[in-house]
């Protein structure tokens, strides 16, 4: 299934694999997606949509096993405060629904901040822009494709300790 994200990668000559899986509407968690695509949650990256008080909307891509460090993201993005956008705003802002948000191909270009942990992997997984399909690619290719900034913006979730 070709999505806008896949077409962008095609246009840049970036190699990737599309991996489809059965969607569980009751569990859209990164951990569930990771199990279905056969990768550890640390290797499956979720894209969160946030809003800074100075810069406006931005995207953060972090491991499925982590939580977003809003203070770190604010500092790195030049904001005093960053908050996740309400779920009802995600689709109007990005064109993507919950469980299908990709750092590539949103309906408007937003700055993308990538947690630097992604570089430890040979390949990572991101949403293809639709539920039920992940893109597997090399982290450097994702950084290049989104012109993203590598930074420390994630922290372990309290329940992962």
pLDDT digits (tens, 9 = 90+) for 141-157: 999 999 888 889 998 87
Does residue 161 register a pLDDT over 50? Answer: no
Give the integer Cα–Cα distance in Å for 110 and 103.
9
For helices 4-11 and 139-146, give the axis angle rounded to 10 degrees.
Answer: 100
**What average pLDDT does the segment 63-68 reach?**
94
Give the phi and the psi of residue 69 in degrees, each rounded to 5: -90, 95
Q: Does domain 4-160 have CATH number 3.40.50.11540?
A: no
Tokens 């077409």 identify what position? 7
């Amino acid at each position: 299934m070709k999505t806008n994200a896949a077409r962008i990668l095609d246009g840049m000559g970036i190699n990737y694999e599309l991996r489809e899986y059965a969607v569980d509407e009751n569990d859209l968690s990164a951990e569930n997606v990771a199990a279905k695509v056969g990768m550890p949650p640390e290797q499956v990256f979720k894209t969160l949509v946030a809003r800074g008080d100075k810069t406006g909307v931005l995207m953060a891509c972090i491991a499925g096993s982590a939580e977003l460090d809003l203070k770190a993201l604010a500092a790195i993005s030049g904001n005093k405060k960053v908050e996740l956008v309400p779920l009802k705003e995600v689709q109007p802002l990005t064109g993507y629904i919950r469980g299908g948000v990709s750092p590539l191909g949103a309906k408007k270009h937003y700055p993308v901040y990538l947690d630097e942990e992604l570089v430890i992997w040979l390949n990572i997984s991101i949403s293809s822009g639709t539920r039920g399909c992940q893109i597997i690619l090399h982290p450097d290719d994702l950084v290049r494709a989104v012109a993203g900034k590598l930074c420390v913006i994630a922290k372990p979730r309290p329940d992962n300790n």
